[in-house]
Structure formats: C-alpha cells, structure tokens
Amino acid sequence: MTNIRRSLVINFFSSTGATIVQFIVSLLLARMLSPAEIGVFSMTVVFVNIAHIFRDFGVGTYLQREPELTEERMRAAIGVMFTTSWLIAVALFFASGAISGWFDEPAMLPVMQVLAIGFIFIPFGSITHSMLTREFAAGKQAIVNVVGTATFAVTCLGLAALGFGTMSMAWANLANIIACAIAYVPLRPKILPWLPSFRKWRHVMHFGVGSLLSNCLGSINNALPDILLGKLGNATLVGLFSRASSTVSIFAYVAGSTVNYGSLSYISQAHYRNEPLGPLINRATSLLTGVGWTALALTYVFSKEIIVTLYGEKWLPAVPAIDALLLASAVGMMFNYTSTALAAIGRPYLSATPIVAMLATRIVFGYVLFKGDIESFSWSICLATLIAAPVMIYQHYAYLGHRFSTMLVALWPSTAVALICLAAALMFKAILPASLPPMAVLLILALPLASVWYVALRLTGHPLSAELHHVANGLKARLA
C-alpha cells in the first residue's frame, strides 16, 4: 500500500503538471484558432480514438492483469501489439478520404493521415508503459510524461503561430508519440524481451477479444456526441460542445490518470487473494467523489466565469450545454471502477452491456431531442447516461458481489461535502461585486472554497481527510 500511495503521489504531480501545460496550450489555441478549426480536429480525432482500441487489442490490460507473465507471453503480447497497430495505421490512412467525404469536410483528410502515421510508432512505447504500470513505476513514467508534454506544447504552439491551423495539433500529436517512444527505450524493464513472437498468441487474443469488445464500444460511445452533432449540426456546434465537455472534464483532466493509475493491477491482485471487491470499490469511489463531486458543483456555479477565463468570451455559447453534462458526469463517476473491476475478474466483455444501452439511447435521444442547439443535444447525452445506470448496478450485484446500497451509504459524506461547497460558492458569489472580471472572481474565491472543502471533509468524517493527512505526513517526513 505504501508503494501504491507513493506512485499515486508521483503520478498526480506528473499528470497535473502535464495537464496544466496542455490546458495552457488549449487556452492559447482557443485564441489562435477558430471554433471551426478546432471542430475539424475534434471530428477527426474521434475516429482515431476508436482505432486506438483496435490497435491496443486489450494487450495493455492483459499485461497489467496477467498473474504469471512469462517471457513467451510477453513476446506474444509484443507480436500482437505491433501487428494490430501497423494494420490499423494502414487502414486508417487509406480510409481518411472516405471519412472526410462522408462529413463533406476536406480539411479532415490530411489531419487523419498524419494521425494514422502515429500508429506506426505507438507500440515502441506502449508495451513498456503497461509493464511500468504493472510495477507501479510512476517515477519512470513521469520522465516520459515530461518529454512528451514538452514536445507536444512546443510543436503545437509553434506550428499554430506559423499558420498551420488544424494541422498544428495533428503534427504535435505525432511528435509527442515519437518523443515518448524514444524516451521509453532506456526505461524498459529488464524482464521485457525485445523480439516479438506468436507462439502464445492465442492466450493473449482470448483475453484481448473480450477487452476489445467493451473498449471499442466505449470508444464509440465517447466519440458518438461529436459524430452525431457533426452530422446533425456543423463543425461550429461540435467545437462549442467540445469546449463545454472540456469544462466539465477539468477534474478528469487533472486527476484522471491518478484516479485510475494501477487500479487494474491492484483490484486483480485483491481478486486473486479472494478478497471481497465491494469494500474496495466503495472506498475508491468515495475518495474519487470526495473531490470530483465538489469540482462539478463548483463548475455549475462558475461555468460562465470558467469559460470566459479559459477560452474567451467568443466561447460563451457553450455554457448552455454544461448543466446536463455535469449531471451525467456525476452519475458516471459512481461507476468509474466498474469496467476495471470486471476486467480484473477476467470478464471484460461484461462492460459492453451498459455501453450498448447507452449507445442506443444516445442515438435515439440525439435525433429526437435535438433542436438545433447544443443545450438540447447535451440533455440527450445526459438521459442516455441515466438509463445505463441500472444495468451497471445489476452487474455490481451479480458479478462483483457488491450491493449498490452499500455504495450509497459510503457516498453520503461526498454528497454532504459537495452540497456544503455548493452553498458556500453561491453565497460567496452573491457577495462579490458583479463588476469583477471572471478571472478575479475565481482567484479571490479559490482559497476560501478550498478551506470550506477541507472543513467539510473533517466535519463529515470523509475518508479522504485521513488520506490527505497521511500524504502530508509522508511529505513532511521526506522533507525532514
């Protein structure tokens, strides 16, 4: 547990630093590029994200979960990874013309071709990344994170300043992949072989097929809003919706990597020790919502201030979509570890069931409820998320031996903390003069609201307060 806490702390600072840099890049790009240019990249990258699922073929999950990872199995995993990645690179490159033609958006063609080239280089680093995650070697991964983030930021902003438009993001993505692949070379675990093999490929493929099904559907489900809105609306609406989604996902950007870091390996080990997974899921979800739900509540109060501060006033039309996306995100956070737990018990394909329900309802509600604006479209996304929740509740009970009622009990402190912070934010905002600039409002209230959050954690006896004290004491001891 000490090693995991140390890795989580390292990963948090590493991912937070990278997120801050990427956030700054996105802010600058929002002022350097038009909503249509950003919308074109968003429409293109959703297909690339779907292709990533086929490229990985569950190999990364397999390497983190497999209890006995022999040399033959590692070589087989390498062989499968390189084969699928290079096949996807070729397929995506030659399909780019048809996809851009379907959207009647010629600017998508060169973007997708450059992103397809990246699939050639991804396997050189992804195998090492999965092995380091299995070993909780967050320090080594942090080095690569710094290299990749710096390469992306310099390339993206430099090309955008030179007038490359949408292509600046595409070339920066390729540069990031190549830089990370090179940085991973000296950090490879000694047990990881260099040469691929196909002798044990059936063992890898058996697990990969189940993982591929759920991951593919999940990627399609995540990509569907941009695809559907791009077809029903236009690139400008896609750009606005992407900024609304980004605003709601600020917490996920900052803490997403840390929240899920090593969770698959840790839950798998608990499963092999025949430990009940319910208490583990309850505690992890409680720690997550203790921060996440408060972040969503504050986003609800300061949505306009955040949009103007981060992206500028021209992005204010994105605000109406935020409320529905906040509710969907709050519900989704309760089931953040569901797919991970199902993969840990060797049944990753079960994650596909709620995704299918959500996917179907998103399409139906998207067509039925869309009124030409992003607010109606965002509520269709929210309703689809609510419909999928009962399916996941059943899966917790039937396959994980976990009663949802115990989770509700475990999450009441997170609910109380979020409501206390919501009330405090509304009160503080009402007190401040309306003439204050949005950035000033956020800066003035940051420390008071952080103090309210900490006091609320202590008052409710939230388990997150004990974890914060543990980390703080560990840092003090290391400094001493």
Neighbours of 339 (CB within 10 A): 23
Q: What pLDDT is stored for residue 46 in this prediction?
A: 76
Res 297 pLDDT > 90: yes
Q: Are residues 102 and 169 in the same domain?
A: yes
Q: What is the pLDDT of residues 7-47, one digit of tens each?
A: 666 766 677 777 788 878 887 887 888 878 888 888 888 78
Per-residue pLDDT averaged across 440-445, rounded?
92
Q: Residue type for 113, please?
A: Q
**193, 221, 249 — which closes off a domain?**
221
Query: Which residues does 110 contact at the CB level (< 8 Å), separation at least 6?
Result: 167, 170
Across 43-52, 109-118, 144-153, 330-339, least confident range = 43-52
In the chain, how many H helices and how many E strands? 21, 0
Confidence label for 328 from pLDDT (cuts 50, 70 and 90): very high
Q: Are residues 212 and 280 in the same domain?
A: no
Q: Are residues 393 and 480 in the same domain?
A: yes
Q: Are residues 179 and 274 in the same domain?
A: no
Q: Is 82 exposed, middle or buried (0-12, 13-18, 19+ CB in 10 A)?
A: middle
Look at the chain and report how many structural domains it folds into.
2
Percentage of the chain exceeding pLDDT 90: 30
- What are residue 76's phi and psi, to 5 degrees? -65, -40
Res 141 pLDDT > 90: no
Q: Are residues 215 and 295 in the same domain?
A: no
Q: What is the pLDDT of residues 348-361, one digit of tens each?
A: 778 888 888 888 88
Task: Answer yes or no: is 400 within a domain.
Answer: yes
Task: Answer yes or no: is 226 within a domain.
Answer: no
Note whether 247 and 303 are within 8 A (CB). yes
Rounded-to-integer distance, Cα 85 and Cα 118, Å: 9
Rounded-to-integer distance, Cα 313 and Cα 316, Å: 5
Q: What pLDDT is stored for residue 175 in this prediction?
A: 94
Q: Is 207 exposed, middle or buried (0-12, 13-18, 19+ CB in 10 A)?
A: buried
Average pLDDT, the chain: 84
Confidence label for 151 from pLDDT (cuts 50, 70 and 90): very high
Task: Answer yes or no: is 89 within a domain.
Answer: yes
Q: Are residues 241 and 213 in the same domain?
A: no
User: Half-sphere exposure (CA, 13 Å, Cβ side) for 454?
Assistant: 9
**Residue, of 339 and 448, whose pLDDT is higher:** 448
Percentage of the chain exceeding pLDDT 70: 91
From 430, 19, 396, 34, select the one nearest 235 (Cα to Cα): 34
Q: What is the pLDDT of residues 409-434, one digit of tens each?
A: 999 999 999 999 999 999 999 999 98
DSSP 162-217: TT-TTHHHHHHHHHHHHHHHHHHGGG--TTS-SS---TTHHHHHHHHHHHHHHHHH
Q: Are residues 132 and 241 in the same domain?
A: no
Q: Are residues 431 and 314 in the same domain?
A: yes
Task: Answer yes or no: is 22 within a domain.
Answer: yes
Task: Answer yes or no: is 335 within a domain.
Answer: yes
**186, 221, 256 — which closes off a domain?**
221
Res 259 pLDDT > 70: no
What is the maximum alpha-carbon separation in the chain?
A: 70
Rounded-to-integer distance, Cα 321 and Cα 307, Å: 12
Note whether 346 and 400 are within 8 A (CB). no
From 266, 129, 143, 263, select the one nearest 189 (Cα to Cα): 129
Range of the domain at 245: 233-480
**196, 221, 246 — which closes off a domain?**
221
Q: What pLDDT is stored for residue 211 in this prediction?
A: 66
Rounded-to-integer distance, Cα 94 and Cα 243, Å: 30
Q: Are residues 130 and 60 in the same domain?
A: yes
Per-residue pLDDT averaged across 327-353, rounded?
86
Task: Answer yes or no: is 12 within a domain.
Answer: yes
- How far is C-alpha 234 from the chain's CA centre? 25
Per-residue pLDDT averaged across 263-288, rounded?
84
Q: Residue type for 4, please?
A: I
Q: What pLDDT is stored for residue 300 in this prediction?
A: 95
Task: Answer yes or no: is 228 within a domain.
Answer: no
Rounded-to-integer distance, Cα 76 and Cα 62, Å: 11
Can you give the length of the chain in residues?
480
Res 274 pLDDT > 70: yes
Q: What is the pLDDT of residues 81-110, one digit of tens each?
A: 888 889 989 998 998 888 888 878 888 889
Q: Are residues 98 and 143 in the same domain?
A: yes
Q: Are residues 268 and 136 in the same domain?
A: no
Note whether 80 and 204 are within 8 A (CB). yes
Per-residue pLDDT averaged across 189-197, rounded?
80
Q: What is the pLDDT of residues 224-254, one digit of tens each?
A: 787 788 778 777 888 888 889 888 988 877 6
Task: Answer yes or no: is 60 within a domain.
Answer: yes
Q: Are residues 216 and 239 in the same domain?
A: no
